[in-house]
Structure 1
């Protein structure tokens, strides 16, 4: 029997029961198990993901294949992304109930009912990619024997805290950007009964997030680390928001400031930290992984993915389908320093730059369309797709080549990237 077939037999993902290998010659079993253990992140991980890439069935938060002492391999049954999200969503009532039990809300029922509405409108919708990434990171990092129903429940609760931070930031971001829709519905601040009261509502969400953290995690040894991680993520995101807003409103059409260095400073702070680094870091803490070097490696690779995620957001804001994204792009109208704008200024000639300076930052629909046509003339959509593919291949290569000490970070990084690979909204 071909050795590859032996390995594939052992890594048969369609088996719910342990794979039987009695008919495989003993010496080939030994060789196969040696190779599988050495190549675990590549063999098991890639076979899983060949069937779960985003543009086919969307990736599932599956744990890696587990090896057990009797030389048999157990795998989890694959579940769809929708089923995974449903499991995560089933934890939301715990979050809402806990928040509404806060003495301040029970003393003032009117405030409590308003808070419930705030949570339902802003936290209950969306893709939940950050929250799910938190759960997935924990499941992938934790030893299988330590994963229990209770530990998964706590991982989901932690994921909801990340989602609450995300919602808090989105409410403020929509106000700053004068956005119209979010997730296919009017932005929270645009509701007649809300208005600029949305600023205070965002603070209520933020403080409720910390109430949840205190309720469920204050007795854990990593509680201080968890709080510090949330504080640092918010600080970095706020710095990124400041840079983003300043570039759009105070450069006075001096597009010499639209450099790749400045752009990367914006996206790393505004998006990468809380979108990818935060969930993975929290997953490490939940699994009691306190090693500084492991956190450093995870941070490096998640920031790289987070940077691309914002580039992807910039592209979707301009070229995305509103029926898919659920929002109307405003980057051109707001004069944002985006990847598309920076690349256009790098590649355009004098005439094209003059057109860019004339039209960029204008709310006139004709000028917006002129900018989009300029991007297409400069072949930026093709350049974007090439960049996306090269990053994916680079992450794959890391998983194949890195030492075991770095493998967890790279494997998590690749799995996270596959959840956004070729996304449309």
Structure 2
């Protein structure tokens, strides 16, 4: 056990939350302590809407997937054509894990211990050797809140999930619907366990201060990505002018096609914090490829042109997304241990797109697979550093304002939980 495992110089979690300095990184115990890991599960992951999958991963009735959120095992299943259900993956007999495979397809949900059998609606259908007075209606699976938003699937294990998520869904769904992600198919999925706390993974994603570590990604992003007008250094002024021209052209295209594009940013001003915006990409401006051209010949939805830049969506606490004309990439983060985090990346393409004909899988995945691996190394370095007794919180640069917004959102959630 390290000195930062539960306290820092005798301070409790209450003390550390109360004294957090705005504009500075969090103290080491937030990232290394088992106490904070448990607190994060209770105050954040067990209380908020979490992105966990896409509709495309459960296309047919009976398709299911399971996932672990701290001590919670969740079962997500397609009950009907447009009907997703989510349950605690716990048999109502003696508590056995109901399904132990990560994903698959079933007719009914059958417990492997004593064969209690449930429909995909969670109702108990069969329980062997029960007395005549046994009422199966009292023993259905315990439900978990689930909602699909434009093809993105969210769950919440809280009895009363954040009510403002309905407002957020109404704001972001018009941006997503033109891409028809509900009808897309999964081209690839990669799971990566990073050697760092989940907050370091999220913070790393919330800034481009470090983006010179991402040569593949920087082929598509403008050199000034992440900068405000006031932050653009003189040597990048010409690149910024190029961005402004591309941005003006795209805004005209968005208006002509009726695609919403304006920045809406409420990262730390509501419980279900988010940020969404359409923005230009460099070079051909179509996709994340070395020359910026589309990685898939079949475009998503009914989009008439490939040159649409990218739709960027961030959602607290555990997800970000890039949706383009030709494909979409989703990212979900789940804590495994204080210094371990699971990152799942999923690539979606048009349902009729054929690998080797319409897209090359290596080209489709190249940029974000490389970027994820680079980020994993950076997160591991950060985790090693915050565990040192010499570490103390440092100040954020102006371009790291979204990191501050994330930390402010997170600390606010802890305060509400600890002082409730």
TM-score, normalised relative to structure 2: 0.30
Q: Which has the higher strand share?
A: 2
Q: Which has the higher helix share?
A: 1
Q: Which has the higher contact order (CA 8 A, sep 6+)?
A: 2
